[in-house]
Amino acid sequence: MSPDPLPRSLFAPIRAALAFLLLAASTLAHGGEGDPDGDPLLSLLALGDTGARHVLPTLREGQRAVARGLVAEDRREPVDALLLLGDLFYPDGLRADELVERVRDNVVLPYCHFSDLRGSRSAEVSGVCGEPEAQRHPVPVFALAGNHDYGSDESLWLERHAVSEFVVNWRMQEAVTEVVELGSGVSLVLIDTVAVSRSGDFPAIRDALRRARGPWRIVAAHLPVAAGDPDADDEWRSREPPLGHFSLADAPVQLYLAGHRHNLQVIEGRAPGPALHVIAGSGATIRPIRKRYANRRFALEATGFVRVDVVGAGEAQRLIVSLFRTPRYPIIFWRAPERVSRWAVSRSGDVEALPLEDR
């Protein structure tokens, strides 16, 4: 008779200790640079397509490597929110029979630093968190649904209602659009692009943009909206071009954040669309850049994330948008996140490329 396998709980302290040591090493490597634009009034981190699963995840799971970069950035200059831009649980969304395992591995373990683990079921997953509670920085985690999150009948309900029993600050909208006023004049407009496309409720985009107080409007979604190949944006553009409803809103959108493409891209927009369109869908894995987008200014096949800061005052205020490349695998713990593209957007939608060396 073969011996019974060791329970996974025996390995939890070892995994937690290893995660903490790797995180500490990454943070030390990143250093403590300042920002020449001054202290941000409000800051966000965003990334998409994070819910992959691999064999030997401690060595190969890209999500964990990217998450260490997020923590290093938050420690360098604290942020106010974390945006997850869809496809949170590959390949077919979240299922009840694996709820605890997937929340533990795809939410708490990588994003422990940002998680509020005081929920009714947090004790079931908190053992993988390798960072002491006093060193964590819980912020609102806005999670958007991607096409893979629609893979099972129960997935959306679980992601909207069950995950927050483990991670209290987890938020996923139920309506096709939602407007969150973050403060400092920033309106975050969340769009469930799959739901809009399937329902045909494109006027909801216009209505949400009109509700947003601004003057800064940042749209977060899973599918890109930038103009390109006829099939460049998949089902998002299959029924009706959504950019027309940006025009009908008569409200400027300075930034559109998307995932779906497993790489990093920057597209300069044109009115009435968003002034700057950033794709950061390589939160766990990388795929080749195949689609063509008009006015693309930057593209890189790498894992990473985007940081958005509101800086300055009055008419001189602007968004600083930085894309960061991270190591592809968590075993490469000594390499800090590297800023690879940096942009400024004014309230009126003027876009300027900024030098990378200014930090």
- 132: CB partners within 8 A, 6+ apart: 20
- pLDDT confidence tier of residue 261, bands split at 50, 70 and 90: very high
Query: What is the arithmetic mean of pLDDT over 330-335?
Result: 73
Beta bridge partners of 219: 189, 256
Most confident range (mean pLDDT) of 50-64, 225-239, 326-340 is: 326-340
Is it true that the peptide bond before 355 is cis, omega within 30 degrees of 0?
A: no
Q: How far apart are CA 225 and CA 243, in angstroms?
A: 7
Quick: pLDDT tens for 177-204.
999 999 999 999 999 999 998 888 989 9
**Which one is predicted more confidently, 243 or 143?**
143
Name the DSSP letter for residue 270.
-
Instruction: Give the CA diameter of the chain.
Output: 75
* CB distance 231 to 94 below 8 Å: no
Query: What is the arithmetic mean of pLDDT over 102-109?
Result: 94
Q: What are the backbone angles phi and psi of residue 325, rounded to the nearest 5°?
A: -95, 140
Q: How far apart are CA 146 and CA 43, in angstroms?
A: 23
- pLDDT confidence tier of residue 8, bands split at 50, 70 and 90: very low
Q: Which CATH architecture has domain 41-353?
A: 4-Layer Sandwich (3.60)
Q: Which of 11-15, 210-214, 239-243, 244-248 has the lowest mean pLDDT?
A: 11-15
* CB distance 102 to 148 below 8 Å: no
Query: What is the arithmetic mean of pLDDT over 153-175?
Result: 97
- 5: CB partners within 8 A, 6+ apart: none
Quick: pLDDT tens for 17-51.
445 555 544 444 444 444 555 789 999 999 999 98
Q: What is the pLDDT of residue 58?
A: 59
Per cent of the chain over pLDDT 70 is 82
Q: How far apart are CA 279 and CA 222, in angstroms?
A: 9
Q: What are the backbone angles phi and psi of residue 314, rounded to the nearest 5°?
A: 60, -140
Query: Which of 192, 154, 197 lies closest to 175, judged by CA?
Result: 192
For the chain, the average pLDDT equals 86
Q: What is the pLDDT of residue 237?
A: 53
String of DSSP letters for 75-118:
HHS--SEEEE-S--STTT---GGGHHHHHIIIIIHHHGGG----
String of DSSP letters for 187-214:
EEEEE-HHHHHHHT-THHHHHHHHH---
In this structure, the strands spanning 42-47 and 304-311 are antiparallel
Q: What is the pLDDT of residue 31?
A: 42
Angle between helix 12-30 and 62-76 (nearest 10) = 50
Quick: pLDDT tens for 108-135.
999 999 999 999 999 999 999 989 999 9
For residue 62, the surrounding DSSP H or E stretch is helix 62-76
- pLDDT confidence tier of residue 359, bands split at 50, 70 and 90: very low
- 270: CB partners within 8 A, 6+ apart: 295
- pLDDT confidence tier of residue 172, bands split at 50, 70 and 90: very high
Q: What are the backbone angles phi and psi of residue 311, rounded to the nearest 5°?
A: -130, 160
Query: What is the arithmetic mean of pLDDT over 248-253?
Result: 90
Domain boundaries, the chain: 41-353
Q: What is the pLDDT of residue 230?
A: 52
Kindly compute the dihedral angle of the four CA atoms of residues 279, 281, 285, 286, in this order, to the nearest 10 degrees.
Answer: -20
Q: Residue written as tokens 């509700």?
A: 211
Please determine, for residue 7, whether its predicted confidence score (pLDDT) is greater than 60: no
Quick: pLDDT tens for 263-307.
999 999 877 789 999 999 999 999 999 888 889 999 999 999 999
Per cent of the chain over pLDDT 90 is 67
Q: Which of 127-136, 151-160, 179-188, 222-231 has the lowest mean pLDDT?
A: 222-231
